[in-house]
A and B are shown apart, each in its own frame.
Chain A
Amino acid sequence: MRIGYYPGCSLEGSSKEYNDSLFAVAEKCGVTLEVIKDWSCCGASAAHNLNHDLALALPARTLALAEKQGLEDIVVPCAACYSRIAGTKNEISNNIAVKAKIEGYIDLKLTADVKILTVFEFLQKYIFPTVDQHIVNKLNQKAACYYGCLYTRPKEIAAVEQIENPMEMDEVMAKAGATPIDWAFKTECCGAGLSVSRTDIVAKLSGKIIEDAADRGAESIVVACPMCHMNLDMRRPEIKKQLKKDINIPVLFITQALGLSMGIPADKLGLNKHYVPTDKVVNCIVKMEA
């Protein structure tokens, strides 16, 4: 099986460490990812806010290129990209007229039969079969797995089984030797695309998420989305002002957490690129006995 990879724009810029840690984990398990040649932006919230046809045409172009390349599974590590690409696939598969219109815009034919995988689906499908032999550390900490909106809703494209209490990321964290906690803000919204235009709202919404994780004793928050990461990590000064409290729980990408359990060095996983220091998390780790 050839596994396609759609990094999306954030993973080439502000969330490079997510990209690097995903590749580090895949490499350790001997899994190869093939980047979709000449992929373009999915359009994110901007396109579906302003122009419905554009919101379909941009992801459709990438889908068509993946098909041309002969890829069957595509890993999409960003929740916004996942939502746009899976949503587009869903809409054009269910409506022939829309499909024809979009094919006209992009000058490419589509079958829309590629499978779109989130990062945690990828880990479970391709990394889990061999992961046990690579795990050398126990993360040994209470982790709050944060899924946010776009992996869990709308139900037509949800990447999780239970949309109000998803467990897929929790399973990955348990594998890494952490204790996933039960908490109330797993699927609440972080404010996503308003990060720049309404930072005040993002501080409020993300503040509630951080506060609940802290109240329940979490030592780390684990995410699988660059937008969630940016809002919970880089926006922490605004969040602290909003909460009038100093909460310093670090935010890890799920691939960084799993990578740590595989003994991949912290700097190779890009843990030094975060705003909230991650050394507390690294210090919790214990070596497993042979």
Chain B
Amino acid sequence: MHESTHHHAETFKSKVEEAIGVTVSHCYQCGKCTAGCPLNEEMDIMPNQLLRILQAEMPGYEEKILSSLSIWLCLACDTCYSRCPQEVLLSKVMDYLRQESLRQNKVNPKAKDILSFHKAFLNSVKMNGKLHEVGLTIDYKLRSLNLMQDVMLAPSMAAKGKLAIFPHQVQNTKEIAKIFKKITDSEGGKQ
């Protein structure tokens, strides 16, 4: 399919493109993605800049992208994609970059809490087959050490019947754990 890959050495950019079927050179830097991004004020690399960095392939660009905070702040709201005149699926690029950043241990220290939350969430699903909000909260607090956060919400949530103390579970939780394990194994054992 991609004959050109036989002639050029594989680069980080070509790996991204191949993995998700997006062509980064399609972007002509109009900047609509950044203009509409709800998190542009918080990001260290703007969405259009991220694509520009991938396009230019300057030395050290892989490191720069994988250790950025932006890739973890992206909410995958897809405002960028829906307004992109070239239909570059940036949220898919972001998904791929996050996974690669995690795999290569390059996660930006400021994204620690965000990552802790995602991990605690998946851990709860792995154990129960469903999310247990109370379990998630405790797990997240232990991982992030934000122990006192939202503590004041607990009594009111309990009073409103919004807290399930015990988890709801699927009939056979082993079945869910097996799906997690198969996927982990197929990736060479690292999650």
Contacts and interface: CB of A to CB of B under 8 A. Distances in A.
Given A149-B78, A149-B79, A275 B156 contact: yes
Contacts of B119: 46, 50
Contacts of B160: 272-273
Nearest to B125: A41
Q: Is the interface of A mostly helix, strand, loop or mixed?
A: helix
**Chain B, interface SS category:** helix
Given A104-B182, A153-B79, 17 more contacts: A38-B171, A41-B131, A46-B117, A49-B95, A52-B95, A52-B99, A53-B186, A105-B182, A107-B178, A155-B82, A189-B77, A192-B77, A196-B140, A201-B39, A201-B73, A273-B160, A275-B156
A138 interface: no
Contacts of B148: none
Given A44-B131, A50-B98, A50-B122, A38 B170 contact: yes
A40 B118 contact: no
Contact of B38 (A39, A163, A205): A205
23 contacts: A9-B168, A13-B133, A13-B162, A38-B170, A41-B129, A46-B119, A46-B122, A50-B98, A50-B118, A52-B96, A53-B186, A54-B180, A54-B183, A105-B183, A107-B178, A149-B79, A153-B78, A189-B77, A191-B38, A192-B77, A196-B140, A197-B140, A273-B162
A106 B91 contact: no
B150 A196 contact: yes
Interface in B76-97: 76-79, 81-82, 89, 91, 95-96
Interface of A: 9-10, 12-16, 38-41, 43-54, 57-58, 61, 104-107, 149-150, 152-155, 163, 188-189, 191-194, 196-199, 201, 204-205, 234, 272-273, 275
Interface in B142-167: 144, 149-150, 153, 156-157, 160-164
A13 B164 contact: yes
A149 B162 contact: no
Contacts of B132: 9, 13
Nearest to A101: B186
Residue of A46, A49, A53, A198 with most chain B CB atoms under a 10 A cut-off:
A49
Interface centre among B89, B116, B121, B132 (most CB of A within 10 A): B121
A149 B176 contact: no
How many B residues are at the interface, by size bracket? 35 or more
Nearest to A272: B160
Contacts of A51: 99, 122, 183, 191
A287 B96 CA distance: 54
Contact of A57 (B89, B99, B179): B179
B42 A201 contact: yes
Given A13-B133, A104-B182, A189-B79, A49 B98 contact: yes
Residue picked from A10, A46, A197, most chain B C-beta under 10 Å: A197
A94 B116 CA distance: 33
Nearest to A9: B131
B102 interface: yes
Contact of B144 (A58, A197, A234): A197
Interface of B: 38-39, 41-42, 73, 75-79, 81-82, 89, 91, 95-96, 98-99, 102, 113-114, 116-119, 121-122, 125, 129-133, 137, 140, 144, 149-150, 153, 156-157, 160-164, 168, 170-171, 176, 178-180, 182-183, 186-187, 191
A12 B183 contact: no
A5 to B, nearest CB: 15
Nearest to A60: B179
Given A38-B171, A273-B162, A153 B77 contact: yes
A54 B164 contact: no
B116 A197 contact: yes
B78 A154 contact: yes
A219 B168 CA distance: 36
A158 to B, nearest CB: 8
B179 A105 contact: yes
Contacts of B179: 54, 57-58, 61, 105-106
Contacts of A39: 170
A194 B82 contact: no
A58 B125 contact: yes
A49 B114 CA distance: 10
B82 A163 contact: yes
